[in-house]
Amino acid sequence: MKNILISLFTFLFLGSLSAQNANKIIEKVDANMSSKNRIVESSMIIHGKRNSRTITSLSYSVGDKKSFTEYLSPARERGTKMLKLEDKLWIYSPSTDRIIQISGHMLRQSLMGSDLSYEDMMDDRKLTEVYTAKVVGEENIDGRKCYILELKAKVVDVAYYSQKIWIDQEYFVPLKEDLFAKSGKLLKQTTFSNVKKVQGRWYPTKMVYKDMLKQGNGTEFIVNSMKFNQEIQEYIFTKAALKQ
């Protein structure tokens, strides 16, 4: 009986220690990945069944509530702009010269044929706000030592009920992310690579998103340039800026 109690307390103690460590890890990840604001120029390579296409864009974002993206190429997408304010999203298309609000089930549509949905772009709350974490192991990814964290939703309004994240033990940058449905089905997988130091932060500059339920080779997202904590004019985050 005594042995059982000791084992139980040891298990609970180690469990809570694991949770504490995990929470500290994701806090560090959040601290590393979040910034006051940032300006990112990126390329999105969408791999289709027959061919691939590249879309370049310039994004301005402040915290996790405001962001503005302008598509620069190809010619077909050039001038398309997207504005996100809190939980609302508007798109401006130069060919129609109209601003459309994307809401409801349209948010679940693919973003320009990629493996990302509009909704995936919308939900960028900090991990610590949404999940409770547990360290479940360690593994090497591309020669980097990683913690494996299991995240379980602690709020009800979350898109992915659980996640498994591989965090670089030195840079506190996620290198792989598996997103699961409530039933435990793997829905999406993201791999992060080319981690570079930008203004004192370590940041992955290549991400590959893959909808695991869909055929295809996923969507690559490559950061061409990135600047943190810049002066961004407030008017950029207005609907009027979409038509400019």
* Residue 151 vs residues 17, 87, 92, 133: alpha-carbon distances, Å: 15, 23, 36, 4
Q: How far is the CB of 110 from other proteins (least distance, A)?
A: 7
Q: How far is the CB of 153 from other proteins (least distance, A)?
A: 7
Site for other proteins contains 88 (CB under 8 A): no
# binding residues, other proteins (CB under 8 A):
23
Contact region with other proteins (CB under 8 A), list: 1-9, 98-106, 195-203, 222-230? 98-106
Q: How far is the CB of 240 from other proteins (least distance, A)?
A: 25
Contact region with other proteins (CB under 8 A), list: 128-136, 143-151, 177-185, 231-239? 177-185
For other proteins, the closer of residues 161 and 228 by Cβ is 161
Site for other proteins contains 215 (CB under 8 A): yes
Site for other proteins contains 86 (CB under 8 A): no
For other proteins, the closer of residues 121 and 158 by Cβ is 158
Q: Which of residues 102-161 bind other proteins (CB under 8 A)?
A: 103-105, 108-110, 153, 156-161
**β-sheet bridge partners, residue 55:** 44
CA distance 152 to 224: 33
For other proteins, the closer of residues 180 and 203 by Cβ is 180
The Cα diameter of the chain in Å comes to: 75
Site for other proteins contains 183 (CB under 8 A): yes
Site for other proteins contains 50 (CB under 8 A): no
| Residues that bind other proteins in the complex, under the rule CB under 8 A | 103-105, 108-110, 153, 156-161, 181-183, 185, 187, 211, 213-216
